């Protein structure tokens, strides 16, 4: 079995911001729909949807605000634990070293893990619960 067997597609593209409401308004003008605003530790996060594209936008003090502001992309997976096991067998460079959980995202939360790609891009493997 391989990690590929657990991936169903691109989950989302992550963009940090220091102006969540302004970012929501900008993307809503393009036709995106805001799913809602969620707590993310001390910060806030939203998911914006347009057809099969989802943007995860979250607040932080020092977003890039320049070319290169995209922080990560996420791959949807069907079984996060099995995907984590297979990624470990491949020797991927884990960011946190374990499966993480955020219970405030979407209806029932998410489980995910991150790896660093060859250019230091973050690749998130994510299971929406």
Domains delineated in the chain: 3-128 (3.10.180.10)
Containing 29, the helix (H) or strand (E) segment is helix 20-29
Please give the average per-residue pLDDT across 90-99, as a whole number: 93
pLDDT of residue 16: 86
Closest listed residue to residue 77, CA positions, set 38, 36, 41, 129 = 129
pLDDT of residue 31: 84
Which of 27-41, 59-73, 92-106 has the least mean pLDDT?
A: 59-73
The rounded mean pLDDT for the chain is 88
pLDDT in tens, 38-90: 998 889 999 999 888 899 999 987 665 565 677 788 889 999 999 999 999 98
CB 46 within 8 Å of CB 37: yes
| Residue 117 reports pLDDT greater than 80 | no
């Amino acid at each position: 079995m391989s990690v590929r067997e657990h991936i169903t597609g691109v989950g989302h593209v992550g963009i940090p911001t220091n102006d969540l409401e302004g970012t929501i308004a900008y993307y809503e003008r393009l036709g995106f729909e805001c799913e809602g605003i969620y707590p993310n530790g001390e910060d806030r996060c939203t998911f914006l949807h347009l057809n099969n594209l989802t943007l995860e936008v979250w607040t932080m003090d020092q977003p890039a605000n320049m070319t290169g502001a995209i922080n990560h992309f996420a791959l949807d997976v069907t079984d996060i634990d099995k995907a984590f096991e297979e990624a470990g067998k491949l020797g991927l460079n884990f960011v946190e070293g374990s499966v993480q959980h955020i219970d405030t995202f979407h209806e029932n939360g998410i489980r995910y893990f991150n790896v660093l790609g060859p250019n230091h891009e973050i690749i998130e493997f994510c299971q929406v619960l």
